Structure formats: structure tokens, C-alpha cells
Amino acid sequence: MGMKAKKSMMKKVKKGSTELTAARKDEAAAADFLPLEGGPARKLPITENSENKSTVLYIGRIPHGFYENEMEAFFKQFGEIKRIRIARNRKTGKSKHFGFIQFASPEVTKIVAETMHNYLLFEHLLQVQIIPPERVHPKLWKGVNRFYKPLDWVHIERKRHNKERTFEEHKKLVDGILKRDQKRRKKIEAAGIDYECPEIVGSDVPAPKKIKFED
């Protein structure tokens, strides 16, 4: 083989090697994942952020007095509100100081989360976070449209007071009063106070006629 043929062959080899290297570089740049053990590069599947579609916000450290009506009046400046729920104690109805709010638009939800997180309101730093759709509990909005009615503790206490008690229940009630009275007398004596405590009717006396409180 002559010198010209050898030079021509070397040029072709160099050109082919350059093109292969460039192709591999382009492939690596387009790929998201290069296997450590070698092999062709792979592009990872595009996963859409679920938070971009979320319309539900968690709101923590809600101050006293900032409840459903106040929250709706405050947050509607950002956009349309679909639902609001504040976690409450089932027995007392008092706020647990956290709740949830749902907007009509995911864009508004994101803006509210960025704007209101750590916002100082009535000496409380609000904690606002986006809840992804897959983490929203299916029963989160159950009964949310029902009007909250606080418990009537006067009625409950009146009913408890007017309850008919048996002799045993009355005896147990008086025994408890006597026991607490003895502890009180001992504390007064220990304090060196000269005081004559009034006598309490014993538990052996039948239950007196009750005075009922009317509505």
C-alpha cells in the first residue's frame, strides 16, 4: 500500500472517530441518566409536579378569633374560595388552631402559600403549606357546609343538675364533699389560722328535695 493510500485511510478513520465522539456527546447531553456500569444513556420520564395542580392549603397557628368568616373575608382578596374548614374539638367546639382552605385556581393557591407563609397575624406566624392532591384525605370536606353550632353548656349543666339521683348516688356525692372538707380543714390548721368551719350534713341523711332550675 502506497503512502497516499495510507494517508487517505488515516483521514477517514480520524473523521469517523470525530463524528462518533460528537454523537456520543450529543446523546449524553440530551440524556438525564448515565448508567455507572456502562451502556447507552437513558432519558428519565418527565414527572409533573403534583403541587402545580393542588388547590388545597394547610394553615397552622390560626389565632383566636380568626375563624371561618374572618378567614373567608381575608383570603378572598387573592381569588375565589371554594371551601374552608377549621379543625374543632368535637366536645367543646373550640378551634384546634389549624385548618384547610381550597381555592378554585392552582395558581392562586401557590401565590397564597408563598405570600402568607410566616405571615404575622395577631402575634401568630401563620404556617401555610400546599397539600398535594394525593395527600388530601377523602373525608376532609365531609360536613363542611353545615353551619357550626356551639354547645349550649347552660342547658347541659341544667340537665345534669336536675337529674334524679338515687340514695346511693346522693351518698357518694356527700361523701366526696366531706372528704374534700376534711382536707380543707387540715390545710387551714397547718397554716395556723383560727377558723371554725361550718358543719356539713352527713351522708346518712336521705337526699333532700331538689330545687329545679327552669328554662
User: Same domain for 74 and 128?
Assistant: yes
pLDDT at 64: 92
* C-alpha to C-alpha distance for 75 and 67, rounded to whole angstroms: 12
Order of strands, sheet of 95-103, starting from the edge strand that comes earlier in the sequence: 81-88, 95-103, 56-60, 127-131
Measure the CA–CA gap between 132 and 187, rounded to whole angstroms: 59
CA distance 71 to 97: 12
Q: What is the DSSP letter of 117?
A: T
Structural domain total, the chain: 2
Q: Are residues 55 and 98 in the same domain?
A: yes
| pLDDT the model gives residue 79 | 94
- Cell reading at 63: 389565632
Q: Is residue 22 part of a domain?
A: no
Say if residues 61 and 116 touch (Cβ distance below 8 Å). Answer: no
Helix H or strand E encompassing 83: strand 81-88
Q: 119 and 174: one domain?
A: no
Per DSSP, the three-state class of 31 is: coil
Q: Looking at the structure, do residues 72 and 123 belong to the same domain, yes or no?
A: yes
CATH number at 118 reads: 3.30.70.330
For residues 57 and 107, membership in a common domain is answered with yes
Same domain for 170 and 116, yes or no, is no
Establish if 128 belongs to a structural domain. yes
Q: Say if residue 125 is in the same domain as residue 188.
A: no
pLDDT at 152: 81
Position 168 scores a pLDDT of 87
> Is 10 within a domain?
no
> Is 151 inside any structural domain?
no
Answer yes or no: do 185 and 130 share one domain: no
* Beta-carbon-side half-sphere exposure of residue 3 (alpha carbons within 13 Å): 0
In a domain, 38, yes or no: no
Q: Does 23 reside within a domain?
A: no
Report the alpha-carbon distance of residue 78 to residue 25 in Å, rounded: 47
Same domain (yes/no): 116, 170: no
The tens-digit pLDDT sequence of the chain (215 residues) is: 566 666 666 666 566 566 655 555 555 455 554 455 555 655 555 555 666 789 999 999 999 999 999 999 999 999 999 999 999 887 777 889 999 999 999 999 999 999 999 999 999 999 999 999 999 998 899 888 766 667 787 888 888 888 888 888 888 888 888 899 999 889 998 998 888 878 775 545 555 555 555 65
Q: Pinpoint the alpha helices (H) of 117-203.
A: 153-161, 167-190
Question: Quick one: 54 and 120 in the same domain?
Answer: yes
Whether residues 115 and 56 fall in one domain: yes
* Phi (first) and psi of residue 89, to 5 degrees: -70, 130
pLDDT of residue 156: 86
- Whether residue 13 lies inside any domain: the answer is no
Closest CA to 99 of 118, 83, 86: 86
The conformation of residue 195, written as its DSSP 8-state character, comes to -
Q: Are residues 79 and 128 in the same domain?
A: yes
Q: What's the domain range around 72?
A: 50-135
Q: Is residue 64 part of a domain?
A: yes
